[in-house]
Amino acid sequence: MLPSAHAVDREFRVIAALSKQGFPVAKAYALCTDDARDRLRLLHHVDGRGPGVLGSHAAEPDAGSTARRSSPARSRRWRKLHTYDPEAIGLGDFGKPGNYFARQVDRWTKQYRASETQHIPEFEKLAEWLPKTVPQQERVSIVHGDYRLDNMIFHATEPRVQAVLDWELSTLGDPMADFTYLLMQWTMPGLADADLKALNIPSMEEAAQIYCNVTGSAVPDLNWYFSYNLFRLAGITQGIAGRIRDGTAANAKAIESAKRTVPLSQASWEYAQKAGAK
């Protein structure tokens, strides 16, 4: 495992804290830390269904139904997550001080280096440019780190999120990270080619304005944030490539994911150029 990868103890802590606030997560029952290398946590089984709205499923008839049900609920839950006072709910020390994006760029660069299997020129340019152009952080909140429809379980028949999953990347940081990562779904296969109006989903610009109206912030230049998000994904997929090399990749789709490192790096550099990188 890479350092800090799959930190189930941190995931257990944030789930337990949010559950007490009524945020939709699976109830946390127990954490076993007897073996430092193989920590286990026991969570409640949540009945429901996945979204079926991203990737190749976006055009399926059922996807529109799910999207219409999930979008309003997701919007409310998302805003609520970013309004909790971390100190008040026992998570005041859940993240490190300083600029969140600066820390993340440094982290994923190191994760990439620890798993590096090939030289990618675009990644090298990004590793130099991103740290020099990090936006100023305006607020600190709980950050999920991978906030998307795929990581949610919905009620079988009602427009309600039953549980938000996969908190292993969560920390304290800049809520713009979750905000811009969610917006990126509008640029990817699935939503990018979907009839958003027919699905009752706002455009990316409308979604951005809705969130910023509620939080009292201005819609930023998204190019830097999109570049960062793709850079981070490249670091994640490179970690998968490293596990394949080392013989520790258990997921059957690991090879497919690892192949995305180069195109992700290239797409990240394209956004960086739109943001002024040369």
CATH of the domain at 201: 3.90.1200.10
Q: 57 by DSSP, 3-state: which? A: helix
Residue 51 is predicted with a pLDDT of 67
Residue with the larger pLDDT of the pair 264 and 59: 264
How many domains in the chain?
1
| Structural domain harbouring 111 | 8-274
CA dist 211 and 207 (Å) reads 6
Mean residue pLDDT of the chain comes to 84
Is residue 70 situated within a structural domain?
Answer: yes
User: Distances in Å between the alpha carbon of 135 and those of 96, 124, 170, 208, 212?
Assistant: 17, 20, 20, 18, 17
End-to-end CA distance of the chain, in Å? 35
Residue 84 is predicted with a pLDDT of 92
Where is 62: in which H helix or E strand?
helix 61-81
**Average pLDDT estimate for 97-104:** 93
The answer, yes or no, to whether residue 255 has pLDDT greater than 90, is: no
The answer, yes or no, to whether residue 88 has pLDDT greater than 70, is: yes
**Average pLDDT estimate for 254-268:** 91
Is residue 211 situated within a structural domain?
Answer: yes
CA dist 62 and 242 (Å) reads 37
The answer, yes or no, to whether residue 229 has pLDDT greater than 50, is: yes
Q: At residue 202, what is the residue type?
A: P
Residue 238 is predicted with a pLDDT of 92
Is residue 264 situated within a structural domain?
Answer: yes
Q: What percent of the chain has pLDDT over 70?
A: 86
Q: Let me know how long the chain is.
A: 278
**Average pLDDT estimate for 201-216:** 84
Q: What angle do CA 278, 274, 269 make, to 5 degrees?
A: 65
Residue with the larger pLDDT of the pair 77 and 152: 152
CA dist 85 and 89 (Å) reads 7
Other Cβ atoms within 10 Å of 210 Cβ, number: 13
**Average pLDDT estimate for 176-180:** 92
Is residue 149 situated within a structural domain?
Answer: yes
Is residue 1 situated within a structural domain?
Answer: no
Is residue 3 situated within a structural domain?
Answer: no
Residue 247 is predicted with a pLDDT of 83
The long-range contacts involving 194-201, CB below 8 angstroms and separated by at least 24 positions, are 194/58, 194/59, 194/63, 198/64, 199/63, 199/64, 199/67, 199/68, 200/64, 200/67, 200/68, 200/71, 201/67, 201/68, 201/71
For 75-86, b/e burial (b = at least 16 CB within 10 A) is: bebbeebbebeb
CA dist 36 and 212 (Å) reads 42
CA dist 14 and 79 (Å) reads 17
Predicted confidence (pLDDT) per residue in 42-69, tens digit = 888 999 887 654 433 333 434 444 544 4
Is residue 2 situated within a structural domain?
Answer: no
Is residue 17 situated within a structural domain?
Answer: yes
CA dist 26 and 153 (Å) reads 10
Residue 248 is predicted with a pLDDT of 81
* Cα 94 off chain centre by: 17
The answer, yes or no, to whether residue 90 has pLDDT greater than 70, is: yes
